[in-house]
Structure 1
Amino acid sequence: MHIDIDKDVCIGAGQCALAAPGVFTQDDDGFSALLPGREDGAGDPMVREAARACPVSAIRLSGPAG
């Protein structure tokens, strides 16, 4: 799966990092970021929930899961 975070849309709510802390974090400015080596979601089943939890739909998922 490919994860794309639209930095122009992200408001730094942190819901993604709460839902899938093994994949998402927040950068020094408080905006969503992917952990190094987790750019494909690392098979974390919570990635889809993290995308759904984003209040501004800044996270897009594409490609096959897993």
Structure 2
Amino acid sequence: MANLVGPAHIVVSGEGLSAYDLFEPHIRASFERQAFGAAAQCPLSVRPLPFEEWARGAATVSIKALVAA
């Protein structure tokens, strides 16, 4: 998705975040291998947020993209 959209920032959040520290090196290495263009320069950060917050953020981005198009 990052390669398709080219976001300015990626926030990793959600229910599986409690295990993120176990997989972080693998996730970051995979992202670096597979990202290209603007996505390759995109910072990746971790923020523990409740479901409502990250779902609201995803919905906002989707609605904004739909309205702006």
TM-score (norm 1): 0.29
Asked which structure has the greater CA Rg, the reply is: 2
Larger strand proportion, structure 1 or 2? 1
TM-score under structure 2 length normalisation: 0.28
Name the structure where helix makes up a greater proportion of residues. 2
